[in-house]
């Protein structure tokens, strides 16, 4: 049975950083992948032109990864938390109800406030009630920080309990990431191509294969 995979991303490039290889893997096996992009580089912190550049980059990445559907909610980056919570949760839930996913990937609630707010909203939408009962796997993906900054043991640290093998899809992940020319930094930056490849190699070797993407399973129904 073909599956419907929903990937909820706070910003353009998070979906590729955290789950690009997994997206390519599911797409290659015939599953339908929907990427929901919650926010972006919009005014007042950025120009509309900045936003349009990242949207174009995202679509190029989606084409390489095999994303079938995508939607951009156009909420300014770092301001997701300014949305009335019932309205924001309603917008996320509407996508869940319309797409009816079997598998959902969301950002791990790390130091970035947008990641935490999106995670909380996905947890509301994915409750095992109504449409949420059809979700077989709910998992949080790992997103490389721009700074590696957090407060260890006070804030949650990402520890995967599931590693998806992406050995056959690592090139697609890295090429998709290269589409984000406005976001990728030079090595040794934490979001450089080399750093992303190194993390994928590390996660892979943790599970006994070449390249992998770490996930934290929140709920799995067999």
Secondary structure class of 158 (helix, strand, coil)? coil
Report the C-alpha gap between 192 and 14 in whole angstroms. Answer: 13
- Condensed to tens digits (0 to 9), the pLDDT of residues 2-61 reads 999 999 999 999 999 999 999 999 999 999 999 999 999 999 989 999 999 999 999 999
Report the C-alpha gap between 82 and 39 in whole angstroms. Answer: 12
Examine residue 188 and say whether the peptide bond preceding it is cis (omega within 30 degrees of 0). Answer: yes
Q: pTM of this prediction?
A: 0.96
The DSSP secondary structure of 86-127, one letter per residue, reads HHHHHHHHHHHHHH--SEEEEE---SSHHHHHHHHHHHHHTS
Q: In this structure, is the dihedral angle defined by the CA atoms of residues 6, 148, 55 and 39, taken in order, positive or negative?
A: positive
- Specify the DSSP class assigned to residue 142: P
Count of C-beta atoms within a 10 Å radius of residue 137: 19
Strand order of the β-sheet with 32-40 is 69-76, 32-40, 4-9, 103-107, 137-141, 212-220, 162-165
- Condensed to tens digits (0 to 9), the pLDDT of residues 120-154 reads 999 999 999 998 999 999 999 999 887 788 888 88
Report the C-alpha gap between 153 and 63 in whole angstroms. Answer: 39
| Percent of the chain predicted with pLDDT > 90 | 88
Count of C-beta atoms within a 10 Å radius of residue 23: 30
Matching residue, tokens 């929901």 = 36
């Amino acid at each position: 049975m073909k599956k419907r995979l929903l990937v909820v991303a706070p910003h353009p490039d998070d979906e590729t950083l955290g789950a690009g290889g997994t997206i390519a893997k599911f797409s290659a096996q015939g599953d339908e992948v929907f990427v929901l992009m919650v926010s972006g580089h919009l005014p007042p912190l950025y120009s509309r032109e900045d936003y349009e550049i990242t949207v174009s980059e995202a679509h190029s990445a989606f084409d390489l990864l095999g994303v079938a559907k995508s939607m951009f909610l156009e909420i300014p980056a770092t301001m997701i938390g300014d949305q009335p919570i019932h309205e924001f949760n309603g917008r996320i839930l509407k996508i869940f109800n319309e797409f009816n996913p079997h598998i959902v990937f969301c950002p791990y609630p790390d130091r970035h406030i947008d990641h935490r707010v999106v995670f909380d909203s996905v947890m509301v939408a994915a409750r095992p009630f109504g449409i949420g009962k059809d979700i077989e796997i709910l998992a949080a993906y790992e997103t490389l920080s721009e700074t590696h900054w957090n407060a260890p043991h006070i804030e949650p640290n990402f520890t995967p309990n599931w590693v998806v093998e992406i050995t056959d899809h690592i090139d697609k992940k890295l090429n998709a990431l290269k589409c984000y020319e406005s976001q990728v930094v030079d090595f040794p930056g934490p979001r450089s191509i080399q750093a992303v490849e190194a993390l994928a190699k590390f996660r892979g070797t943790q599970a006994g294969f070449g390249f992998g993407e770490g996930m934290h399973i929140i709920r799995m129904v067999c």
